[in-house]
Structures are given as structure tokens and as C-alpha cells.
Amino acid sequence: MNFKLKDIVPQLITVIAVVLVFGFFTYNAQINMENRGIDFGYGFLSQESSFDVQFSLIEYDGSHSYFRAYLVGLLNTILVSVIGIIIATILGVIVGIARLSPNYLINKFAAFYVEFFRNIPLLLQIFFWYFAALRALPLPQDAEAMFGVFFLTIKGLYVPAFIWQNFNIFFYSIIAAIIAIIVIRAHAKKVQENQGKQIPVFLISIGLIFILPLLSFLIGGVRLSFEVPVLKQLATTSFIYEGGVSLPPELIALTLSLSLYTATFIAECVRAGIQGVGKGQKEAAASIGLTPNQVLKLVIMPQALRIIIPPTTNQYLNLTKNSSLAAAIAYPDLVLVFAGTALMQTGKAIEIVSITMFTYLTLSISISILMNWYNKKIAIQEK
């Protein structure tokens, strides 16, 4: 009996403390809201929002609901995170490998990059790119074309837009190519395990991913044309580019700083992962006659990935959460659109902040579930 009491008492005290604190907060919140005449509820989400957002992926204006404004912000957050994650991964892997290069200059250059960008606050970097570096760009009328079609101006980056005909056929052809590649890889693995023959999977894959979409152009009636941005004069001194796709400078500054910053951490993860693979593994692989490429692909990388994935997942999560700094330079992400403008208009502090936090929690948890699944897939299968 005595033994049981010892188990229960600390738990009971903790739970009572937590419940008391929460109860206290809720009680106060109720009283405060009553006094100020605010009622609690999520009904405002379907009301007309009556504010505009500069940049959105879906159709949106003031006549749409608050929920749609929320979606606009969420999609913008996801856009920045996805672009940032892709660039940061590519850059991080390159720098991480460069950190291990036997070449002294490359090694030091990569180390300099990592130490430099890692030790400066992200917010400062975002401000630097947005307020200092991108402001030095030319006005639209003075901009010189890069490769004849890109225009990098102070008002953003203008790129040509793709105009597709029968886009769905093209899309299906790519999906077909991907499925075919997966099937062929599985088949090749089987053949290798059973008969010891190697099928040039890589060449076949490259062929497939080019040939099938090409066929869709020739047979399926897919047409692609480009719409190049053209300079247009609005007033005597005001110019703008029309046509094409325009990426706002906020987006550029944000993705640039997020990926440059996060890449340094990913680079360190990659370096630690590759260093974590024993030297004996490389030597053993070389001694059974594998080429350096094969050593990297078949022996080092599969083992290094196991070390690299978990900390890199954390970096992806950090990047996604850091994308909320967008609010500081007025890129219309979730925090700015919803926790900023919408909160100002409705005054529903508790509801809006809780929705925002819940959204980020969901994003973080879904990324970590995805990466955990991948991590399990490549982990050592102990029998």
C-alpha cells in the first residue's frame, strides 16, 4: 500500500498543478473576454475578409473569406519551405562534400562559407538581402536581360511563363516514365540477385524520362510555348514587365537567405555522416575492385545516409519554422496574412494564434513522419 502511494503522489501533484494553471488561464480568459465583449468562436472564418494579399498562388481578393486568406498564407509558407528545402539540400550536400575535399582551397572555401553564414542571425540575413542587396538592383527600364528572357529588377524576377496545350497528356507521360523506371529498377535488382547480370538501369531511366515526354509532343499533341515578359510603360517614369511570371523580391530574399543559412547546417550533417562511415569500409570496397563511383554509391552513401537523415530532418523542420520570419519583410505567409492582418481586423487573438500554432505543429509533424518513414526504409534491417 505504502509502495503504491509513493508512485501516485508525485503524479497527482503534477497533474493537479497543470490543471490548476490551465484552469486559471481559462478562467481569466473567460472573464477578460466577457469584459471586453469578445465572444469565442471560429465562425469568423467564413466571413468576408476585405483585405488584399500581394502574392498568392490561388485566386484571392477582399471578397473571399478569412478561411481562404488562411489558405493563401499557408500555400505561400509551403511554397517558400519547399523551394528553400530543395535549394538548401543541393547546396548543403555540395558544400558538405567540399568540406571533405583533399583540395586545401576548396576545403577552406567551404569551411569559410559554413562559418560565415552559420554565425549570423537569419533575420539579419533576410533584412540584408531584402533591404540592402536587392535594393541595389536596377529599375525595370534599366534591367538587362539574362539569356534574353530573365529580367532581374528591383521589383522582382521576371521569368517566361510556360503555356501548355494538352498539359495533362504531358503530365501522364511523365508519370508513366516514373512508373516504368520503378518497375525496371525492381526488375534489374531481381535479375542481379538471381543471375548476377547487371542491367544499365541508369541509362535506361534517362532514356525513358526523355523519350516518353518527347513522344507526348510528337503523338499526343502537346504544345509548349513561352510567354516572354515585355517591358510596358505605365507612366513617364513608371515601368513594369507584362506577361511571364513575376517572383516578388520578398520571395527571392526569403528563399535566398533561408537556403543559404540552412545549407550550412545541412553541410555539417553531410560532413559528419560521411566521416562517420569507417575508413575500413572504403578500403574494403576498393579492395574488392569497385570503382570510386561505385564505392561512393554502393558502400559509403547508404551507410552515411543513415547518419545524415535524422539531423537533416531537424534542419528541414527548422527551415519550415524559420520561414515564418517572412512576416518581417512583408512576404504574405501564414504569420503575416493570418496572425497579422486577419488578427488586426477581427481581434480574435486566441482563435487565430491557436490556429496558426496548430498549423505549424501539423506541418512539423507531417515532415517528421515523412522523414521517419524514409529513415526506417533505409535503416539497417536486422533479422
State the residues that interact with another protein by CB under 8 A.
7, 10-11, 14-15, 18, 24-26, 28-29, 31-33, 35, 101-106, 109, 115-116, 118-125, 127-128, 131-133, 135-136, 321-322, 324-325, 327-328, 335, 339, 343, 349-350, 353-354, 356-357, 360-361, 364-365
Distance in Å, CB of 258 to another protein, minimum: 12
Q: Are 246 and 157 in contact (CB under 8 A)?
A: yes
Distance in Å, CB of 12 to another protein, minimum: 8
Distance in Å, CB of 298 to another protein, minimum: 22
**Closest by alpha carbon to 338, among 348, 79, 329, 328?**
348
Distance in Å, CB of 273 to another protein, minimum: 16
Distance in Å, CB of 140 to another protein, minimum: 20
CA gap 183, 165 in Å, rounded = 29
Q: Which CB, 75 or 328, lies closer to another protein? A: 328
Strand, helix or coil for residue 322: helix
What is the Cα 298 distance to its own chain's centre? 28
Q: Are 253 and 155 in contact (CB under 8 A)?
A: no
Distance in Å, CB of 272 to another protein, minimum: 11
Q: Which CB, 219 or 365, lies closer to another protein? A: 365
Distance in Å, CB of 15 to another protein, minimum: 6
CA gap 159, 145 in Å, rounded = 10
CA gap 130, 124 in Å, rounded = 10
Q: Which CB, 47 or 354, lies closer to another protein? A: 354
Distance in Å, CB of 217 to another protein, minimum: 34
CA atoms within 13 A on the CB side of 68: 18
Q: Which CB, 175 or 379, lies closer to another protein? A: 379
Q: Determine whether 65 is exposed, middle or buried from the number of CB atoms within 10 Å of its CB (0-12, 13-18, 19+).
A: middle
Q: Are 130 and 255 in contact (CB under 8 A)?
A: no
CA gap 363, 38 in Å, rounded = 30
CA gap 182, 284 in Å, rounded = 30
Q: Which CB, 30 or 165, lies closer to another protein? A: 30
Q: Which CB, 6 or 377, lies closer to another protein? A: 6
Distance in Å, CB of 204 to another protein, minimum: 27
Q: Which CB, 109 or 150, lies closer to another protein? A: 109
Distance in Å, CB of 166 to another protein, minimum: 41
| Conformational region of residue 241, where left means phi above 0, alpha means psi within -120 to 50, and beta covers everything else | beta
Q: Which CB, 60 or 265, lies closer to another protein? A: 265
Q: Which CB, 106 or 199, lies closer to another protein? A: 106
CA distances from 304 to 14, 26, 99, 335, 349 (A): 42, 49, 15, 36, 46
Q: Are 38 and 347 in contact (CB under 8 A)?
A: yes
Q: Which residues contact 209 (CB under 8 A, 6 or more apart)?
A: 174, 177, 178, 181
Q: Which CB, 136 or 235, lies closer to another protein? A: 136
φ and ψ of 287, to 5 deg: -75, -20
